[in-house]
Amino acid sequence: MAMGKHIVKCCICHRIRTDRGWEPEHSRDAFSRDEISYSHGYCPTCYEEALMQIKARVAQTALRTAS
Ligand SMILES: [Zn+2]
């Protein structure tokens, strides 16, 4: 049974993960649309950024509770 393509799409910059790396969404034209199932996630760049934001928020909260 064919499951079709399952691709990961970054929920921030909307790039998709391909065999060649993270590419703009329009490169999905290489695939037949019907066979695609999307999974939303983070590309490495946006993951780093999200992590930084979380860390900054945690640091702020820690400062606030400390004072
Ligand atoms: Zn991204």
Picking from 48, 44, 17, the residue whose alpha carbon sits closest to that of residue 31 is 17
66 Cα: distance to centroid of ligand 1 (angstroms): 34
pLDDT score for 55 = 96
pLDDT score for 49 = 96
Given pLDDT bands bounded at 50, 70 and 90, which one contains residue 65? confident
16 Cα: distance to centroid of ligand 1 (angstroms): 8
CB distance 12 to 53 below 8 Å: no
pLDDT score for 3 = 59
Whole-angstrom distance, CA of residue 64 vs CA of residue 56 = 12
Residue type, 6: H
pLDDT tens, residue by residue, 2-60: 556 788 999 999 999 988 899 998 765 655 566 778 899 999 999 999 999 999 999 99
